[in-house]
Structure formats: structure tokens, C-alpha cells
Structure 1
């Protein structure tokens, strides 16, 4: 079993399907339980995202909106806090009933502040990105459940390799920018930049298929009940990534108008 999502790696569900574990934790992982917990995590992130959105902008004398003094704090605090909680959840899966909701709350601050900044520059972009994200989620879920898309071993290997490649590109461009090197051809609104964003969106979308397959495998293996929280957390990590990439892609497209 493989997933491009680093929180749902190959060993996540290994040795979790024993009767001893299920009895001790009071039940086994179910698909409906994971779906319900995913919805709950999304709701938590929406609450803090709405708060951060309202706090990230201030009205000017001419009636227009501008970034607030605290927007960077919400952005960096949410990103760093979310990263730390993601690491804790990944290495301490039994803590996921507590750390997964905390991750959703903290990540909401990042999403709300980032979304507010994009909306200031490109009016309507956030609504479009939300529609694209959840439209992609439901379309991929229907395709997966109907059997139109199957996560074969070659498919998994390809997505994992592509996800790792994207990570290396992002890491490399960050290092280059730190040394003052221009990498606008990747992050800019040119043909290469838009093409790169399209590729990243496709890879993030394919990671949803791997996440569905991985969660379903956990259900079939009889993983303990707390893994519903972990599965929901892993799926949300991919959704956050997909949403941010849609924002980037749409901003590049609108910059050309």
C-alpha cells in the first residue's frame, strides 16, 4: 500500500487489524465514521478561517480594504502550528482524536489569512477555488467508488514519485530565492508557471484517489477506531494542498488578463 500523502504512508495500517486492538479501542474503523470526522475537521477549519479572514483586512478611508497588521501572524502562526501538529499526528497516531481537530483549527488561521490576501488582489478567486476543490473531491470520490479509477500499484508508484518531485522543486526554488536567484518562470504567470501549476493540481488531485484507497484498505483491515480521525486528518492534508494550488493557478491565470 502506498500513498503520495506523507501522512498516509505504507506502514500506517500495518498490524492494526488485530482483534486485540479492536476490542481494546471499543470498535473498528468504518468508512462512514471517517467521512463524518472529515466533515467535522472541515467545519472546525472553516470557523477559524472565517475569523482569520475578518481579522486579516482593514477598511481604508476610501472604502477599499487593505491587509491588516496581524495578517502575517495569522499566516505564519497557522502554517508553522499546522506543520508541527501534522508531524505530531503522523508520529503519534493514537493522539489523532485530539491532534487532528487541533490541526484543523490551527490550519484554518492559515487558510483564512491566505485566502483574504488572494481575494484582495483577485476578487472572487476564493469562491472559485473552493468550488474547484470540493467539485474535484466529489468527482474523484464518485469515480473511485464506481470503479472508473483504480489505484493500481503502478498508479501509486507514479503518483508518489511525482509528489516527491514536486516537493523537491518547491524546496529547490525556496533555497534559490534565499540566495537571490530568480525563479519567476516557475511561480510567475507565464506559460511555464501556469503549466507547472496545472501539473501540481493534477498530482494533488490524484493523491485524493490514493487517500481513498488507503482509507478503504484500513477499513477492510479492521484498523482501530481512532484511525478514523487519522484517516480524516490525512485526507484534509491533501484537500488543503489542493485548495492552495487552485488559488495559485487561478491567480496566475487572472494575472494574464
Structure 2
């Protein structure tokens, strides 16, 4: 049975297996990975504060789209490109992961500010829920309340794959102008779908914790601390965006 498999596509058995084939003098540690996660979070917040400020500065001028959207789009595209580069070249993660965090921060800062303008206070709620979920899942994992068994892992992998397919289908529907209000609207069905996605994203955190722990036990090279931190950041960013979406749907019903 694979001990280090995660449903997070950037954290897979193959990555750690290939890394162990390389010669290295220093090995991955949990403390080292935690430090890298904290640093990536700092980069995300620093970049997000820039585009957040741009939205606030331009709110009264009517130039939000022209001034902020290029930074948001550039951040989203740049983050996606760097994510693929990091997945295919894990050894580059000490360099690509910080830039990934910066690019994603540019996108998150802009979208967060725009959402907060429409729903005051929603960002603080989403941030609080994101970190609350992070620590709750870490507690559940460390205390054994949630055990990463093969069946548990397989279920989360299948659900995550299904959500990715669902995202792709809704994207195609949007391209052809086909209505999909069942997901983007504020109906009970739409809220239920978002709750399910949030739950799966949260459970992915448990698999990521397990993956990082097993990777450190397996003696992965030092650069895998950056790669493990990058993988966890991917899940956290996904969780935060989905929480923003869920909270906005709930707000629309009030």
C-alpha cells in the first residue's frame, strides 16, 4: 500500500519516489516544511495587500477593471504556469514556490477586495474559516480522530477528481453561454454543492498532512520541504476561494 499518496495532484507517490532516487545530504523535516508554509503565507499576504490596495484606491474613480484586473489575471495565469512547472520540476520548488505564492497573492488580493466591496466583512469570515479549518483538520489528524486509511484516501481522491471534472464542465458551459445557475446561483442546491466542495477541500488537508509526515519519515531531500509547502498552499488557496463563494451565496439569500 502506498504510504504517501495524496489526492492533491501536486503531492503524489511518484514525486517522493523520484526524489529519493537522487543523492542528497540533508533531508526533509516537518519543522522545515512548517517554516516554508509560513513563508509562503507571508508572500501571499504581501502580494494580496498590493492588489487589495489598488481596489480601494480606485473604488471611487470607476477604473477598477482597467487598473486591477490585469494584475489579477496576470496573477492567476502566472500562478497556474508556475504550479505546472513546480509539479514537473519539484527540484525547482525552492525558487518556483515563492513566486507561485506571490502570483496567487495578486489574484487573491484583487478578488477578495472586490468580494468585500459587495459583501462587507466576507473576507475576514473566509480567512477565519480557512485557518480555523486548517487547525481543526490538523488536530483531527494528530489526535487520530480522522485516520488516513486506504478507503478514506481512495474516497477523497475520487471526490476530488469528480470536482475537477465538474469545474471543467461548468467552464465549458460558461464558454458557450449555457446557464449553470444551479452552481453559481444562491439556491439551496448551489449552496449544498459548495458545502460539499468545501468539505472535500478540508479533507484534502488531512491527506496533505499525512503526505508531508510520511515524506519526512521517508528521508526525502531538503528541497521537498518547499514542495510539500507548495502542495499544502494549493489546497489552502482552493479552500479559501470556495469559502468565499459559499459565503457570498449565503449572503445573497439574506
Separation in 1, partners of 2:175, 2:223: 41
Structure 1: 4+ residue segments shifted above 6 A: none
The match for 1:13 is 16
Separation in 1, partners of 2:108, 2:65: 15
Please report the RMSD computed on the Cα atoms of aligned residues, expressed in angstroms: 1.5
Separation in 1, partners of 2:18, 2:182: 46
Shift of 1:246: 0.3
The match for 2:24 is 22
3-state DSSP class of the match of 1:70?
A: helix
The match for 1:131 is 128
Residue 148 (str. 1) matches residue 145 (str. 2) = yes
Provide, for residues 204-230 of structure 1, a one-character-per-residue CA deviation record: whole Å limited to 9, x for no partner: 000000100111110010000000000
Separation in 1, partners of 2:239, 2:30: 22
Residue 195 (str. 1) matches residue 197 (str. 2) = no
Query: After alignment, is 191-200 or 69-78 more displaced?
Result: 69-78
- Does the 8 Å CA contact 1:96/1:230 hold for their aligned counterparts? yes
Residue 44 (str. 1) matches residue 43 (str. 2) = yes
What's the TM-score once normalised by structure 1's chain length?
Answer: 0.94
Residue 248 (str. 1) matches residue 245 (str. 2) = yes
Shift of 1:59: 3.9
What's the TM-score once normalised by structure 2's chain length?
Answer: 0.95
The match for 1:227 is 224
Q: How does 1:156-167 map to 2 (within 5 A)?
A: 156-167=153-164
- Does the 8 Å CA contact 1:16/1:221 hold for their aligned counterparts? no
- Does the 8 Å CA contact 1:67/1:117 hold for their aligned counterparts? no
Separation in 1, partners of 2:59, 2:202: 36
Separation in 2, partners of 1:245, 1:66: 27
The match for 2:54 is 55
Shift of 1:15: 4.6
Q: What is the aligned counterpart of 1:209 among 206, 209, 215?
A: 206
Query: After alignment, is 239-248 or 181-190 more displaced?
Result: 181-190
Distance 1:187 1:68, change over 3 A: closer
The match for 1:173 is 170
Provide, for residues 110-158 of structure 1, a one-character-per-residue CA deviation record: whole Å limited to 9, x for no partner: 0000101100100000000000000000111111111111111111111
- Structure 1: tracts of 5 or more residues without a match: none
